[in-house]
């Protein structure tokens, strides 16, 4: 069979396995729901019906199957990634089913996945474009720790933006497509194919998650996809030194912006950085846009309307990465422009949300007038 036909077949089979597994998880909820259903009460809960949150299991099974039917050269690239992703995935699934795994433990697990992937592949961050940092990264232990920290950070960033139907999975697909296109431009077809395999498998879950939210990604799925996105970004620069390290950063820009801004915002407000709240950009879009302009939609569809706004914020920096992968000066400008766009959107949505809340608690003018008319004349005087 022609290699191109083989690659297409792998993509189709990976998508099909992920889709079928996702549908089966939804259909069998009555058997596993006591362990897997996500409750509707909570600061960051926006769904109205308890929903299974183990979509990451379908994605992992789809990836394993796709890896099994891939070519031998493709397996050498994808299999170590899946093995190394096990700690991040398993700790995430454990949180999905028990709600007892701490944030610190999950962060350490994602960093452990980064160290494991280095041990299996020998890949680490050795070039950032900053001379001082690059000189320090020549020491291997520091390079490995820096890589593990970066990978763990992106994995947790994807988990942070996982709040609405299709938001996290769609954002990851945008990032992976950007990395895959850059790899194709560099002639690295194996890395590009790996990116597109992960995309296809993610789309299988996406079709069940968006727009109706029948299955959630969960921590297991978010950490798995975040880890794969981060590690493929690291691998892109490692295998193709002509690509600026700013390019993969822009491919992961939206979840990175959200995480950095959230930490700074919470510290500024003297709150713990890990304390959940409803002030993420996607939460504000829900209040300011979806709840106002799409209020006639059913709850799942109204929640799904949030995601396209975030996809746009992910697509802008990804476009810079694909368009100028070897031009660090332009990529730095693209980073500043993209972050400025994020801050402008956040300011607008925060202002609109505050105004909407004030209107919601302000009593209508005719209420006070009616009350006055119903009072006795002695009181009105």
Q: How far apart (Å, rounded) are the C-alpha atoms in residues 231 and 222?
A: 14
Structural Rg of the chain based on CA atoms: 23
311 contacts: CB under 8 Å, gap ≥ 6: 167, 170, 171, 174
Is residue 179 pLDDT above 90, yes or no? yes
Q: Which of 31-45, 167-181, 340-354 has the lowest mean pLDDT?
A: 31-45
Kindly give the pairing relationship between strand 37-38 and strand 51-52: antiparallel
Is residue 47 pLDDT above 80, yes or no? no
Percent of the chain with pLDDT over 70: 92
Per DSSP, what are the bridge partners of residue 51? 38
pTM: 0.91
DSSP 151-186: HHHHHHHHHHT--STTHHHHHHHHHHHHHHHHHHHT
In whole angstroms, how far apart are CA 110 and each of 91, 180, 373?
Answer: 9, 23, 65
In this predicted model, what pLDDT tens digit does every residue of 56-83 receive, in sequence order? 999 999 999 999 999 998 999 999 999 9
Q: Which of 54-58, 103-107, 116-120 has the lowest mean pLDDT?
A: 103-107
What the block records as the tokens of 34 is 């006591």
Task: Provide the pLDDT for residue 372.
Answer: 41
Is residue 315 pLDDT above 80, yes or no? yes
Is residue 368 pLDDT above 50, yes or no? no
- Residue 32: CA count within 13 A, CB half-sphere: 18
171 contacts: CB under 8 Å, gap ≥ 6: 158, 161, 254, 255, 310, 311, 314
């Amino acid at each position: 069979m022609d290699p191109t036909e083989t690659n297409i077949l792998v993509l189709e089979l990976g998508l099909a396995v992920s889709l079928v597994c996702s549908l089966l998880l939804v259909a069998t909820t009555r058997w596993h729901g006591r362990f897997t259903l996500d409750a509707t009460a909570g600061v960051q809960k926006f769904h109205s019906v308890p929903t299974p949150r183990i979509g990451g299991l379908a994605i992992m099974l789809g990836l394993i199957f796709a890896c099994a039917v891939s070519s031998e050269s493709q397996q050498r690239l994808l299999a170590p990634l899946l093995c190394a992703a096990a700690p991040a995935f398993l700790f995430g699934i454990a949180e999905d089913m028990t709600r007892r795994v701490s944030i610190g433990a999950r962060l350490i697990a994602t960093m452990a996945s980064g160290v494991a992937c280095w041990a299996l592949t020998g890949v680490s961050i050795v070039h950032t474009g900053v001379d001082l940092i690059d000189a320090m990264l020549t020491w291997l232990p520091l390079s490995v720790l820096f890589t593990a920290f970066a990978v763990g950070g992106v994995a947790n960033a994807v988990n942070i933006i996982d709040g609405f139907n299709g938001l996290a999975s769609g954002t990851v697909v945008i990032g992976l497509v950007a990395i895959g296109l850059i790899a194709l431009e560099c002639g690295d077809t194996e890395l590009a194919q790996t990116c597109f395999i992960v995309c296809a498998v993610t789309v299988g879950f996406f079709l069940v998650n968006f727009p109706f939210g029948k299955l959630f990604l969960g921590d297991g799925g978010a950490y798995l996809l975040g880890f794969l996105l981060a590690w493929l970004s690291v691998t892109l620069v490692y295998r193709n030194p002509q690509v600026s390290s700013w390019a993969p950063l822009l491919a992961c820009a939206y979840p990175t912006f959200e995480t950095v801004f959230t930490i700074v915002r919470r510290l500024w407000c003297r709150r713990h950085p890990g304390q959940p709240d409803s002030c993420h950009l996607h939460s504000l879009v829900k209040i300011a846009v979806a709840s106002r302009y799409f209020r006639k939609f059913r709850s799942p569809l109204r929640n799904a309307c949030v995601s396209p706004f975030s996809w746009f914020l992910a697509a802008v920096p990804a476009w810079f990465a694909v368009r100028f992968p070897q031009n660090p000066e332009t990529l730095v400008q693209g980073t500043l422009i993209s972050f400025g766009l994020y801050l402008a959107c956040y300011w607008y949505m925060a202002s609109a949300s505050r105004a909407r809340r004030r209107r919601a608690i302000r009593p209508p003018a005719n209420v006070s007038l009616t009350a006055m008319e119903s009072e006795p004349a002695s009181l009105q005087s």
